[in-house]
Structure 1
């Protein structure tokens, strides 16, 4: 691939353009808002000047509601040899293209499973897709050359290709992406009118659950509008679990011993099933979550503290598998949770204590 055009210079489009440009591909940037394309160009994502002729690959990075129309226009104008979109739903745009009578041979649907709470070109990074799944949804009629271009794009972005059926993809993202977004927003919405004394008690758990609730509502309305059925199906299952959990909690309030016992069993069941589902979430290197030991270190909010603790941990010769930071409410301090193999935890804790760090159990 020597040339590409990115149509839509938001977070995903600009990030793909940055990755391609950094690896020597000449990228042309197009957006309905010329200022957005100019911003992406100023970041080094390519040029907002039009291409002189057909490019190798056109990457359409616009909201799902507009994906098919933009693709059809680009294909009609012959802007590229191959066409690919990065919309978060796949079945709808493909069916719209078919209804328009478009030739689907030079087109492949795709969806990089990467994003941020922030949107727009200024949020883009060339490494956004590194190590992340990038779904491809080719059809039996997809041109082999276009499939190769799509695979080259994914390789240049250092993502991991995953081939799926378009409708199977939409059901999958309803479960692992779209429903979690709604549930996160619902939990965060409980905080809007909560008493300030309750909000001040927020810890890492509520921060984890509500992190993605900071996402752009307009963007998510567009995504959910393109995949409402599968999301509603998943939410219906969650709603059934909620009803059963509410009934179990009411049972725990009862003076009737049998109802209390049934309530306990109901709560245990939902927590057990949660444990079983969590184990299936891919962890490091794609494996299931490992049972790491946490070494919690008290740090102050001063420049260089994190760099120093990582350097001291590195001197111990122990690999840090993961890290989290829990901030202390209202204080200029917090806990860095260093996650290591269980057998390494005592040695790391001892090494950090020797260097003056305060270890918390």
Structure 2
């Protein structure tokens, strides 16, 4: 594969274009908003020039409701030999593609499981897909060459291919992506009119839960509209769990000892279920989850401090598996939480303290 057309230069389309141009492919950019395409081109994602003939692959990077219409137009123009879309919902677009009479032999649905809370070409990153799952949902008549082109695209972007049925994909993303987005927004909405004193107490927990609440509402309306029923089913189940949890919390306030014990058992049960579910989330590079321990270091708000800390940790031969920064409200310090292998915790803690770092116990 040498030439690609990206139709839709938002976050996902532009990120794919950046990844492909870095690998030496010639990428042509299209968008209903010419300014968006020009912005992507200015970032080095490709060219807005029309290709001389059919490109090898066209990537349809538009909202789910537009996939069928845009694919039909691209195929009518003979834009490419093979086609894929990267919409986050697959069943609806596939039904529309079939209803419009599109060529499904040379088309395969796909969905890179990557994104950011920001949208648009300026939020794009060439490494957005590295190490991330990229789902492929072939139709019954998708041919081998089309599947191979999609697999090559996934490899060029550094992602991991997963072949799934379209309906199974939609159920899965409703659980791991769409419902969490709404839940994050619901929690963040509680902060909108909260007392300023309460908001200033926000720590890393609420920051983690509400991070994706900063996402673009219009974009998510498009996504959720295409998968609304499945997401509603999951939220109904979550609502039932919330109801049981509220009942358990109320029981903890009663004078009856038996009811308090029942309430405590209910809270412990939901927490343990959460422990079990969280433990199933894959670790780095999709590997089985690994338990790391955290070393928390106080970090001053001066240029170069974070780099100096990372440099000293690297010099000790300790690999940082993950990192989080917790800011201290109203103070010029923060806490850097370094996730490392359990065997390295004691050695790292002692060495950092010897080098003058303040490490929290």
Structure 1 length-normalised TM: 0.98
Q: Distance in 1 between matches of 2:53 and 2:106?
A: 17
Please give the residue correspondences for 1:73-152 in structure 2 after superposition, counting only pairs within 5 Å: 73-152=73-152
Corresponding residue number in structure 2 for 1:256: 256
Structure 1 residues not aligned, in runs of 5+:
none
Task: Confirm whether residue 359 of structure 1 aligns to residue 359 of structure 2.
Answer: yes
Task: Confirm whether residue 16 of structure 1 aligns to residue 16 of structure 2.
Answer: yes
User: What SS class does the counterpart of residue 253 from structure 1 fall into?
Assistant: coil
Equivalent residues of 1:6, 1:58 under 8 A apart:
yes
Equivalent residues of 1:15, 1:127 under 8 A apart:
yes
Tell me the CA shift for residue 269 of structure 1: 0.8
Please give the residue correspondences for 1:1-361 in structure 2 after superposition, counting only pairs within 5 Å: 1-361=1-361
Tell me the CA shift for residue 262 of structure 1: 1.2
Tell me the CA shift for residue 357 of structure 1: 0.7
The aligned length equals 361
Structure 2 residues not aligned, in runs of 5+:
none
Tell me the CA shift for residue 111 of structure 1: 0.2
1:313-360, CA deviations, whole angstroms, 9 ceiling, x for partnerless residues? 111112222111111011111111111111211100111111111111
User: What SS class does the counterpart of residue 111 from structure 1 fall into?
Assistant: strand
Equivalent residues of 2:131, 2:286 under 8 A apart:
no
> RMSD of the TM alignment (CA)?
0.9
Equivalent residues of 1:17, 1:45 under 8 A apart:
yes
Equivalent residues of 2:179, 2:231 under 8 A apart:
yes
Q: Distance in 2 between matches of 1:290 and 1:153?
A: 29
Q: State the 4+ residue runs in structure 1 displaced beyond 6 angstroms.
A: none
Q: Distance in 2 between matches of 1:219 and 1:99?
A: 24
User: What SS class does the counterpart of residue 252 from structure 2 fall into?
Assistant: helix
Q: Distance in 1 between matches of 2:343 and 2:17?
A: 43
Tell me the CA shift for residue 28 of structure 1: 0.6
User: What SS class does the counterpart of residue 116 from structure 2 fall into?
Assistant: coil
Q: Distance in 2 between matches of 1:97 and 1:316?
A: 56
Tell me the CA shift for residue 265 of structure 1: 1.1
Equivalent residues of 2:117, 2:215 under 8 A apart:
yes
Q: Distance in 2 between matches of 1:213 and 1:165?
A: 29
